[in-house]
Amino acid sequence: MKSYDVVLIPGDGIGPEVADAAREVLDAAGINIRWQVFDAGIRAQEKGKETLPPELLEVVRETGAALKGPLTTPVGSGFTSVNVRLRRELGLYANLRPVKTLPGTRSLYPDVDLVVVRENTEGLYIAEETWEDNNTVSAVKRVTREASARIARFALEYARQHGRQSITTVHKANILKESDGLFLTTARDAAADYPEITFKDRIVDALCMDLVLDPGTHDLLLCPNLYGDILSDLAAGLVGGLGTVPGANLGEGCAVFEAVHGSAPDIAGRGIANPTALILAGAMLLRYLGEEEAAARVEKAVHAVYATGEISTPDQGGSATTDQFSRALIRFFDENHF
Ligand code: NAI
Ligand code: MG
């Protein structure tokens, strides 16, 4: 059996609970992963380390792959988001978030199948905020042609490889004519090389309405950083909440897989978090490693367990614990001789 070194960052809040579940399920999926466990964020700080320890970055660069639980970011003051720094330090420029209805979940629509591609390195997320005087703050929104072209090509290439019919560039270029304007025109130029993919664009507020009325109006959303963040959670809401939506942060030769959701302090420590999102992020990781069959096995087990309607965590209307849910997946592997 081939084996892989993968970094595991359990994270904060529900992070360790869903990370344990994901690890057990991936370990049962028929491949050999040597997990290298690292703390980051608050847990690292509590142990007297930096919130983003340099040795963690080094090992992720070496192994090329990590599975990460959510990391808490203090609101208003305190340390800079470790998630944002991790993406920046490792050059993880593309954030890929497939949003799909799972059977037997609280999805508001029966057949959502949407992909959010989010620019991961710039926009307002550079967090350059300056007090101009005692009463005024300005924040820089940086948009470069290079990063815009890179993410547009990523989205178009993804669409081509996965048979997506159209891509919608999300913007507010009626107001932000220069910054969102550059993002939009760069995407449109890149799309000229992909004539088989329909290129659409939509102003972000109108797009929100489209998604709520009929998520099938769009196929793949190409988003600047902040709109992509917001639309990911909106899209997660369409399929019954954040508990089932995975994501990948991808760069050149390096990738960090995580759930779209955060550390969910409101339910942390109770053993009832839905591990599906991180488990499906784990399936994306397996596919990234070239283990297509194992990835498909994990996804099939998730679908099959939800389809029985017998077991789900409270966010999806059930009463299962995190552990009971992951054990149901492992039982599915056993019963189907996977
Ligand atoms: P959140 O995503 O943690 O929670 C929002 C709501 O969804 C809560 O009601 C929560 O209980 C529910 N939820 C989330 N994941 C769930 C799961 N797996 N199963 C069941 N219910 C789930 O968002 P919130 O509360 O705004 O953020 C909490 C912290 O997480 C903040 O410090 C934030 O900065 C951080 N965060 C970290 C992310 C990351 O590590 N990539 C992403 C988003 C937020
Ligand atoms: Mg978010």
Atom of ligand 1 nearest to the CA of 11: 40
d(CA 162, CA 15): 30
Name which residue sits closest to atom 4 of ligand 1, judged by CA: 264
Note the pLDDT of residue 80.
87
CB atoms within 10 A of CB 100: 18
pLDDT digits (tens, 9 = 90+) for 81-93: 999 999 999 999 9
CA atoms of 231 and 51, how far apart (whole Å)? 27
Provide the residue type at 196 as one letter. Answer: E
Please name the residues in contact with 29: beta carbons below 8 A apart, sequence gap of 6 or more: 286, 294, 297, 298, 333, 338
Q: What are 55-111's pLDDT values in tens digits?
A: 999 999 999 999 999 999 989 888 889 999 999 999 999 999 999 999 999 999 999
What are the tokens at 166? 């159209």
Helix, strand, coil proportions of the chain in percent (round to 5)?
Answer: 45, 20, 35
**Token digits for 39?**
């703390």
Tell me the average pLDDT across 15-40.
Answer: 97
Residue 78: predicted pLDDT? 86
279-334 pLDDT tens trace: 999 999 999 999 999 999 999 999 999 999 999 999 999 999 999 999 999 999 99
Nearest to 118 by CA among 152, 145, 146: 152
Euclidean distance between CA atoms 33 and 22, whole angstroms: 12
Which of 120, 261, 272 has most ligand 1 atoms within 8 Å of CB, for mutation?
Answer: 261
The alpha carbon of 308 is separated from its chain's Cα centroid by a whole number of angstroms, namely: 26
Q: Packing angle between helix 204-213 and helix 225-238, nearest 10 degrees? A: 10
Query: Can you read off the two tokens belonging to residue 288?
Result: 């990234």
Specify the 3-state DSSP secondary structure of 124.
helix
Query: From the CB of residue 193, how many other CB atoms can be counted at a distance below 10 Å?
Result: 11
Structure tokens at 126: 């550079």
Percentage of the chain modeled with pLDDT above 90: 96
- Which ligand is nearest the CA of 230, by number? 2
Which pLDDT tens digit goes with each residue over 210-247?
999 999 999 999 999 999 999 999 999 999 999 999 99
Is residue 168 within 8 A of residue 114, CB to CB? The reply is no
Q: How far is the CA of 178 from the centre of ligand 2 (A)?
A: 25
Take atom 23 of ligand 1 and give the residue whose Cα is closest.
Answer: 262
Mean pLDDT, range 6-11, rounded to an integer: 98
Whole-model pTM?
Answer: 0.97
Q: Ligand 1 pocket: which of 97, 118, 226, 242 to mutate (most atoms <8 Å of CB)?
A: 242
- CB of 70 shorter than 6 A to ligand 1: yes
* Distances, alpha carbon 227 to alpha carbons 120, 214, 335, in Å: 11, 19, 43
Check if the beta carbon of residue 304 is closer than 8 Å to that of residue 316: no
* Interatomic CA distance for residues 298 and 137, integer angstroms: 47
Ligand 1, atom 6: nearest CA belongs to which residue? Answer: 264
338 pLDDT higher than 80: no
Distances (CA, A) of 79 to 72, 75, 131, 227, 268: 10, 9, 18, 23, 21
